[in-house]
Structure 1
Amino acid sequence: MYMSLWKTMTRREDPSVYQDKDGHLKRTLTTKDFIGLGVGTIVSTSIFTLPGEIAAVHAGPAVALSFLLAAVVAGLVAFAYAEMSAAMPFAGSAYSWINVVFGEFFGWVAGWALLAEYIIAVAFVGSGFSGNFRPLLASWGLKLPAALSNPMGTNGGIVDLCSALVILFVAALVARGVSGAAKVENIMVALKVLAILTFVFVAATAVKASNLTPFIPEYKMTPNGAFGGWQGIYAGVSGIFLSYIGFDSIAANSAEAKNPGKTMPRGILGSLAIAVVLFVAVSLVMVGAVHYTHLNTSEPVGMVLRMAGHPVIAAVVQAIAVIGMFTALLGMTLAGSRLIYSFGRDGLLPKFLGKLDKHENPTNSLVTLTIVTVVIGAFFPFAFLAQLVSAGTLIAFMFVSLGIYGLRKREGKDIPVPDFKMPFYPVMPALAFVASLVVFWGLGVDAKLYALAWFVLGLLIYLFYGKNHSYLNDK
């Protein structure tokens, strides 16, 4: 019995089957589109808030080092993603790759971990969009009642109407086709990058050397954990890593890429490189313009600009920050709907989720994702689940890093030799795995417990539904 279950769990999908099934998706996305999707997802709300919070709570002026170290970890994994997506440009990214390399159950675990990221991130950003958009409405004289402003049971709320509406609007945009959504994303990302650069150049005029000294404050323990020293920098890495994980959302759309062998590596690595530069620049200017002890606020970018004597620019940048949240919603909705489609495509979730509409779009999976995220984001307070996003994604990152070893054995056989390969093999995949594990270890206890609970739920779904309805049963 146990041997039979193990054989079922480790059965591998033929990559040519995925190639055939995903061949109906339209290949319309270019390198520019993927860089736009990547930057839009990675450089989201967090660039306007996280540098100040991490500087005040953990790292001081050395917050830039936390961002750099987190980028190194993300970069190592991004090389693995680049080779995987170039060799196997399938919908579902890590789920499909691990299914081919290690087997069905391990692919399901990796995909289920990523699903937590997409569902919670869409709902979380929808809530964040609402929290920033409602004050803008209020400044124009349009104030929503508490019942329509907050999730059920929170401050007299029944439904967060703005969160629900923006998620529905993004879903409608994605439903019209990935090409049109990518064009909107590119325009909004350009605006957001312009706003970030404006902040950097304007706030740089207020930088004082005294605010950057000492660059690495002395280590001490606080109620929020480690502060100062390399311990504080490490604590900052775990808190910051959430900012960089968006590049995996690019890979989920690789089945819709033109010339994926070249497009995917350029999109993944290019968007991450741009994000690193922007995060480090914002961090250095922010802690240089205002002492880090004053930066633990919900809108440090606006505060820095106002203290530098630029209130109008502060208002404009904060308004564009709302657009930044919209771009993250677009990227995560695209990726999440493609992942759910791939589950349905393989029968591990109900098969209607893997169907395409008459325009060759996975509308059923998109509608399902939208309903779930609207319910979570509009009706339930869920901030405590945000840590599950980092935990789930790091689990998938570890699988993909180790998956390079299995992939190399099959390249040139049943898997084509890709145009891009992860450098410094076999050392770099191991470094990527270890680095992801170290960041995972630095997460809070709650994050690990939520990840365990999510894993148990996924295990039950696989054992009682997925393995019995998998298309591999027909072979």
Structure 2
Amino acid sequence: MRNQLWQRKPVEHFEIEMKESKLKRVLGKWGLTSLGIGAIIGAGIFVMTGVGAKEYAGPALALSFVVAGIGCTFAALCFAEFASFLPVEGSAYAYSYATMGELFAWIIGWDLILEYGMGASAVAVGWSGYLAKFLHLFDIKFPIWLMNDVFTAKEMIAEATSKGTLTDLANKYSSLDFPSIFGIDLAANVPAFFIIWVLTAILVRGIKHASSTNNLMVAIKVAVVLFIIVLGVQYINPENWDPFIPKRTTFTDSLGGTHGAFGFLGIISGAAYIFFAYIGFDTVSTHAGESKNPQKDVPFGIITSLIVTTVLYILVALVLTGMVNYKDIDVTAPIAAAFGAHGLSFAVFIISLAAIAGLTSVSIVMLLGQSRVFYAISKDGLLPKKTFGEVHPVFRTPWKANILIGVVVSLVSAFTPIEGISKMVNIGTLLAFVMVSAAVWIMRKKEPDRPRPFRAPAIWFVAPMGILFNLGMMLTLEWQNWLRLVVWLLIGFSIYFFYGKKHSVMAQRLKEKNGNVEN
């Protein structure tokens, strides 16, 4: 057992699997870059910026994006090096298997499943919220129980009642009443449920269709982000940046939790919170098995998408906090509300439309990345291959995995509040980044002569800094995040020891090797 847990998967085995892969290699470097940008620009820039400024960093939100961007840059260089000499689907899971052994690989794989699945769910809920705002511009309304889960809907009504704004809430929905069965109120976020199934159908059809859809969405939202920056600059009031870093204080968030805000530590805490905005560049590496020239194109896609989005994030953060005082930012739709406060209704229309497009592309890439992680894990026997690794004979996609993921993610999106979903994502991603930064350093020591088309510069500095920056952001997260991570990992350990360990392909090879030695 001990040997199996630490058994590494030789790089040669990955190379054999690459040659035998049934996935279509249709993605070039710009297609991969588009997937990266599509995954990154979304909920972070259209939603998370509000809470990040109001509850954590104040006008210094731009610095939070810089800190998070630096941590991601170190991790991205490590991802890029791994992807260049191990261009297989599975991302950090595959990299950990090659360097740290089966148990660590399972931990990271299970962690990535949480990241992509909950990330897609959170984005789908955000998509539904912006759809409601967009339709409201045309006076199209739906009952509150069709647009929100029951917990969120009741919380909204209770809050509006306590503040005396129930009339305003009623104007946003056609009805505030709930249907019920046996005295139990019913509600579901139907748009979030619906969009997940539309995207699942696209993914089952194939990566080429998904990539084309994503490219269109990316083009729309990048254009609108530039529109936000160019137009918003004209309405900046420098007084809103004074003080740029407000004094340290405590803050009670919308869920009743208390945390420190502002000051230098507020910038770091803000970086850990808005880290959700950067989740996505790592998904580029999960598509190495579908890249035309993975050794060169995957590193290009990872680094280029991260650079482009970091610059855009910093500029948008400066525009947002310059247009509106950080104390008055609307946390539900900060960008649209900032322009609405200046009477720019046409901009609100454009931004809402772009948010819908942006969140759609994020969901596509999250769902796509999760199915590829499942596919990689099932090939190693740690999950049932007939369910997660079977490729459709016509579309050549892991269609069963796509459908199963669609079932789970759509149900979570329909019935779970976005706050609970999003807080499960950040800590898992940071853990993955810490382990990849450590793994690439280990691989340099263990196999220094292996060809690396892309080599991270100054690995002695980049890898440790990747560990320190991302671990530091992890440590600023509330204890509830750590508890959720521990519970998720315990579930994963149960699956591994009851199923994965017994069906591991590497375990069979280890037994055969030991048997030959004994003979």
TM-score normalised according to structure 1 size? 0.94
State the alpha-carbon separation in 1 of the partners of residues 313 and 152 from structure 2.
33
**1:191-218 deviations in whole A, cap 9, x for unaligned?**
1011111111111111122111221222
Q: Are 2:185 and 1:182 aligned?
A: no
State the alpha-carbon separation in 2 of the partners of residues 227 and 361 from structure 1.
46
Q: Secondary structure at the match of 1:426?
A: helix
State the alpha-carbon separation in 2 of the partners of residues 301 and 149 from structure 1.
21
State the alpha-carbon separation in 1 of the partners of residues 340 and 139 from structure 2.
23
User: Alpha-carbon deviation of 1:374?
Assistant: 1.4
**1:44-82 deviations in whole A, cap 9, x for unaligned?**
122023223222212221111111011000111010000
TM-score normalised according to structure 2 size? 0.87
State the alpha-carbon separation in 1 of the partners of residues 321 and 152 from structure 2.
34
User: Which segments of structure 1 move beyond 4 Å, counting only runs of 4 or more?
Assistant: 138-142, 410-413
State the alpha-carbon separation in 1 of the partners of residues 119 and 441 from structure 2.
30
State the alpha-carbon separation in 2 of the partners of residues 208 and 135 from structure 1.
26
State the alpha-carbon separation in 1 of the partners of residues 151 and 486 from structure 2.
27
Corresponding residue for residue 33 of structure 1: 31
Given candidates 99, 102, 114, the residue that maps to 2:100 is 102
Given candidates 435, 439, 442, the residue that maps to 2:473 is 439
Correspondences of 1:246-325 after superposition (within 5 Å): 246-325=280-359
User: Alpha-carbon deviation of 1:344?
Assistant: 1.3
Q: Are 2:188 and 1:159 aligned?
A: yes
User: Alpha-carbon deviation of 1:152?
Assistant: 5.4
Q: Are 2:392 and 1:357 aligned?
A: yes
State the alpha-carbon separation in 2 of the partners of residues 321 and 449 from structure 1.
32
User: Alpha-carbon deviation of 1:241?
Assistant: 1.2
Given candidates 453, 458, 461, the residue that maps to 1:424 is 458
Query: Number of aligned pairs?
Result: 469
Corresponding residue for residue 87 of structure 1: 85
Corresponding residue for residue 125 of structure 1: 123
**1:232-256 deviations in whole A, cap 9, x for unaligned?**
2122111111211211111111111
- The answer (yes or no) to whether the contact 2:122–2:421 under 8 Å persists in 1 is no
Corresponding residue for residue 14 of structure 2: 18
Q: Are 2:108 and 1:73 aligned?
A: no
State the alpha-carbon separation in 1 of the partners of residues 363 and 295 from structure 2.
26
User: Alpha-carbon deviation of 1:139?
Assistant: 4.5
Corresponding residue for residue 505 of structure 2: 471
Corresponding residue for residue 170 of structure 2: none
Q: 1:313 to 1:142 in 2, by over 3 A?
A: closer
* Of 136-145 and 297-306, the range deviating more from structure 2: 136-145
State the alpha-carbon separation in 2 of the partners of residues 381 and 91 from structure 1.
31
* Of 323-332 and 339-348, the range deviating more from structure 2: 339-348
Q: Secondary structure at the match of 1:26?
A: coil
Corresponding letter in the other structure for 1:10? W
State the alpha-carbon separation in 2 of the partners of residues 244 and 471 from structure 1.
34
- The answer (yes or no) to whether the contact 1:346–1:354 under 8 Å persists in 2 is no
Q: Secondary structure at the match of 1:422?
A: coil
Q: Are 2:384 and 1:336 aligned?
A: no
Corresponding letter in the other structure for 1:41? A
Correspondences of 1:190-205 after superposition (within 5 Å): 190-205=219-234
State the alpha-carbon separation in 1 of the partners of residues 124 and 15 from structure 2.
33
Corresponding residue for residue 369 of structure 1: 405
**1:395-426 deviations in whole A, cap 9, x for unaligned?**
1111111111232245476xx51211111122
State the alpha-carbon separation in 1 of the partners of residues 67 and 415 from structure 2.
37
* Identity across matched positions, percent: 30
Q: 1:222 to 1:144 in 2, by over 3 A?
A: closer
Corresponding residue for residue 54 of structure 1: 52
User: Alpha-carbon deviation of 1:270?
Assistant: 0.5
- The answer (yes or no) to whether the contact 1:305–1:313 under 8 Å persists in 2 is yes
Corresponding letter in the other structure for 1:389? V
State the alpha-carbon separation in 2 of the partners of residues 190 and 405 from structure 1.
36
- The answer (yes or no) to whether the contact 2:8–2:100 under 8 Å persists in 1 is yes
- The answer (yes or no) to whether the contact 1:57–1:296 under 8 Å persists in 2 is no
Corresponding residue for residue 148 of structure 1: 146
Q: Secondary structure at the match of 1:222?
A: strand
- The answer (yes or no) to whether the contact 1:61–1:292 under 8 Å persists in 2 is yes
Corresponding residue for residue 240 of structure 2: 211
Q: Are 2:34 and 1:45 aligned?
A: no
User: Alpha-carbon deviation of 1:18?
Assistant: 2.8
Corresponding residue for residue 458 of structure 1: 492
State the alpha-carbon separation in 1 of the partners of residues 30 and 340 from structure 2.
34
- The answer (yes or no) to whether the contact 2:44–2:278 under 8 Å persists in 1 is no
**1:120-140 deviations in whole A, cap 9, x for unaligned?**
111111122122213434544
- The answer (yes or no) to whether the contact 1:52–1:283 under 8 Å persists in 2 is no
Q: 1:197 to 1:422 in 2, by over 3 A?
A: same
* Of 374-383 and 321-330, the range deviating more from structure 2: 374-383
Corresponding residue for residue 346 of structure 1: 380
Q: Secondary structure at the match of 1:206?
A: coil
Corresponding residue for residue 390 of structure 1: 426
Corresponding residue for residue 513 of structure 2: none
- The answer (yes or no) to whether the contact 2:137–2:349 under 8 Å persists in 1 is no
**1:336-355 deviations in whole A, cap 9, x for unaligned?**
01011112111111121112
Q: Are 2:433 and 1:400 aligned?
A: no
State the alpha-carbon separation in 1 of the partners of residues 244 and 152 from structure 2.
40
Corresponding residue for residue 415 of structure 2: 379
Q: Secondary structure at the match of 1:38?
A: helix
User: Alpha-carbon deviation of 1:468?
Assistant: 0.3
State the alpha-carbon separation in 1 of the partners of residues 324 and 452 from structure 2.
48
